[in-house]
A and B are shown apart, each in its own frame.
Chain A
Amino acid sequence: MTETVLRTSPEKRRFSVDMRALSPFIALIVLIIAGALINPDFLTASNLLNVVTRSAFIAIIAVGATFVIAGGGLDLSVGSMAALTAGVMILTLNNLGGGDLGTLALGMLAAIALSAACGMANGLIVTFGRIEPFIVTLGTMGIFRSLVIWLAAGGTITMRNFELRELYRPVYFDSIFGIPIPIIAFMVVAAIGALILYRTSFGRHVVALGSNEDVARYSGVPIWRVRTLTYVIQGICVGIAVLVYVPRLGSATPTTGLLWELQAITAVVIGGTALKGGIGRVWGTVVGAVILELVANIMVLSNFVSEFLVGAVQGAIIIIAMLVQRSVHRGR
């Protein structure tokens, strides 16, 4: 697929790339129209802001996943990693005990450090162990999940300091100029992600690695370093997502982040990144995450889908959205 893109003339290339990048946005618009037809309450500002806000965790994690997948890898451990990071962050805050900004900053630092380290572990095992990333991250998924269950003794890890909880709560619930902070957070993360992927040599190395490892190696791409770094980026993104997640409910449970890995991968693929690597679309990924959350929202707002069939309709909508996208760029 990449080869044909490279062979076409520059002018035509830019045009076809634009269409492909646009297709998730088209799917998004179709969904919004469908939602408005189903229930007029859907289009209220508060509902739309709620939906986009809560898609922030998956969107931020999925930006990291875009790097891993574009580089030909896969990370199944992100949901468990998020739960573990959230658990350790809350335990750190509880142990420090203070209710001030300094305590909060230390807790945040611990979260980012831990998630980056988890990502680094994934990356190093994949590259130096030369094991399929599917297997490695399936293993670490179990490890991270068990660790959080162990830390919580099967129960809940909750922020104990009430002042700190109130100090931190606005990070999820407040807005700046009418835009909720989580939305700003994921826009910033996506912008930085896009910058790295499209404008730096590292970004080009990731894509080269994902489209053909051998060619990349002969072209002098530092394969091991690039691959490990994609997992570290994924880890840092999980950490940032946790920073936005913790203030919402102020707790982590053994079910925190369950199946987030599948949602993140789905968001990446809906966004137009190839699951086999070689193409990465950061903004598409963000739209993919919003689409996933919108579908769930429309299901609850609709009156005609029985609660027993919600999953089936949701699955069908996602498949149809992908078909619409495909037909859009096949028609070009």
Chain B
Amino acid sequence: MKATVLKIALATGLMAGVATGAVAQKKDVTIGVSIPAATHGWTGGVVYHAQETAKQLEKGYPGLKVIVKTSPDGAAQANAIDDLMSQKVDALVVLPFNSDELTNPMREVKKSGTFVTIVDRGLKDPSIQDIYVAGNNPEFGRVAGKYFVDNLKQGNVVVFRGIPTVIDEERVTNFEKALEGSGVKVIDKQYANWNRDDAFKVMQDYLAKHPKIDAVWASDDDMALGVLEAIRQAKREDIKFVLGGAGMKDMVKRVMDGDKMIPADVSYPPSMISTAMGVTAAHFYTNAPMRGTYVLDAQLITKDNAKEHYFPNSPF
């Protein structure tokens, strides 16, 4: 009984959402944003940038309303999307937990006439998304690999993997591809779960196992911090540098300050949510065509451009 009442309420909400969709030309636009809750550093950054961008966009486009909702897991995100639809949004910007899970709910959203923007993890059926803003994981691995080839030229490298996922697999295989034919050799690979403590332990073991390590691809800034502490404890001088990834503010700061062990970083910016929100808002307020796929580069952060990647107020 209760469930039926809820369903009716939801259905009315959805219909109302369709109705306002038609009024979008009057520049009264509502954009819903559904993102994962801040459960680790990178998603913490996503939440921060989403909230900052919401404020900026509302200021820049009069009549625009942006509603940001965070969810702790995939199922909760599906509910949050229902809630947003009942608030009559004209467009929905979603960074899905799991693209498989969300494909069907998003198909329903699309059917109701809402403009759909997907970020980072693409849906199974690409015809659902009007805009797709993608981070580039293969490129993330390639850029890192190229850095080792250009700067180390020759030597032994140990690799830290994250959590066994497609993201991790794409990064690592392309890293190794980029090394092919060069003098840089991967002598060991282990999972450290994008976790500082695990990376610390694995690095201690690497140091015990390998008498000569020339450089470390930590592949993530959290893991890089654990690695640095283990190297410091062992007092080993053979390691020339550690390359992290993602663009955590502490690490970008070290690149900016010219830390010898951290000469560079590879970006995988949580601010890609801002790109998606900006493009979505522009779709409603400008005549420029916006539909399509945007692939963001994984950029090499060096001392020269570190300033552009440094957000002191972000939690990440």
Contacts and interface: CB of A to CB of B under 8 A. Distances in A.
Question: Which interface residue of A46, A249, A251 has the most chain B CB atoms within 10 A?
Answer: A249
Contacts of A41: 208-209
Interface in A41-62: 41-42, 44, 46-47, 50, 54
A152 to B, nearest CB: 7
Given A153-B44, A249-B225, A310-B191, A301 B201 contact: no
Nearest to B194: A255
Interface size class of chain A, counting residues whose CB lies under 8 Å from the partner chain: 20 to 34
A288 to B, nearest CB: 18
A44 B205 CA distance: 12
A154 B196 contact: no
Contacts of A310: 190-191
A54 B222 CA distance: 18
Nearest to B204: A50
B250 A300 contact: no
Interface string B275-315: 00000000000000000000000000000000000000011
B201 A255 contact: no
Contacts of A54: 200-201, 204
A48 to B, nearest CB: 9
Interface stretch (B32-40, B81-89, B142-150): B32-40
Interface string B245-262: 000101000000000000
Interface string A248-270: 11010111101000000000000
Interface of A: 39, 41-42, 44, 46-47, 50, 54, 149, 152-156, 158, 173, 248-249, 251, 253-256, 258, 296-297, 300-301, 307-308, 310
A255 B42 CA distance: 12
Contacts of B200: 54, 248-249
Given A44-B208, A155-B38, A307 B233 contact: no
Nearest to A301: B209
Nearest to A172: B233
Interface in B19-59: 37-41, 43-45, 47-48
A261 B195 CA distance: 17
B316 interface: yes
Contacts of B189: 307
Interface string B201-236: 110111011000000000000100110010001100
Contacts of B195: 255, 258
B208 A154 contact: no
A42 B205 CA distance: 9
A154 B39 contact: yes
- Which of A154, A307, A310 has the largest number of chain B CB atoms within 10 A? A154
Contacts of A254: 38-41, 44
Given A154-B39, A154-B43, A307 B196 contact: no
Contact of A300 (B44, B190, B314, B315): B190
Given A39-B209, A258-B195, A154 B164 contact: no
24 contacts: A47-B208, A149-B39, A152-B315, A153-B38, A153-B47, A154-B39, A154-B41, A154-B47, A155-B45, A155-B316, A156-B248, A158-B250, A251-B196, A253-B40, A253-B196, A254-B39, A254-B40, A255-B40, A255-B196, A296-B201, A300-B209, A301-B208, A307-B189, A310-B190
B197 interface: yes
B157 to A, nearest CB: 15
B315 A155 contact: yes
A153 B191 contact: no
A102 B253 CA distance: 30
Given A153-B315, A248-B200, A300-B190, 17 more contacts: A41-B209, A46-B208, A149-B38, A154-B39, A154-B40, A154-B43, A155-B41, A155-B315, A156-B222, A158-B250, A173-B233, A248-B197, A248-B229, A254-B40, A255-B40, A297-B205, A307-B190
A296 B208 CA distance: 14
A154 B229 CA distance: 22
B161 interface: yes
A20 B293 CA distance: 64
A269 B41 CA distance: 34
Contacts of A300: 190, 202, 205-206, 209
Contacts of A155: 38, 41, 44-45, 314-316
Interface in B64-113: none
Given A248-B229, A253-B41, A253-B222, A308 B202 contact: no
Contacts of B47: 153-154
A46 B37 CA distance: 41
Nearest to A308: B164
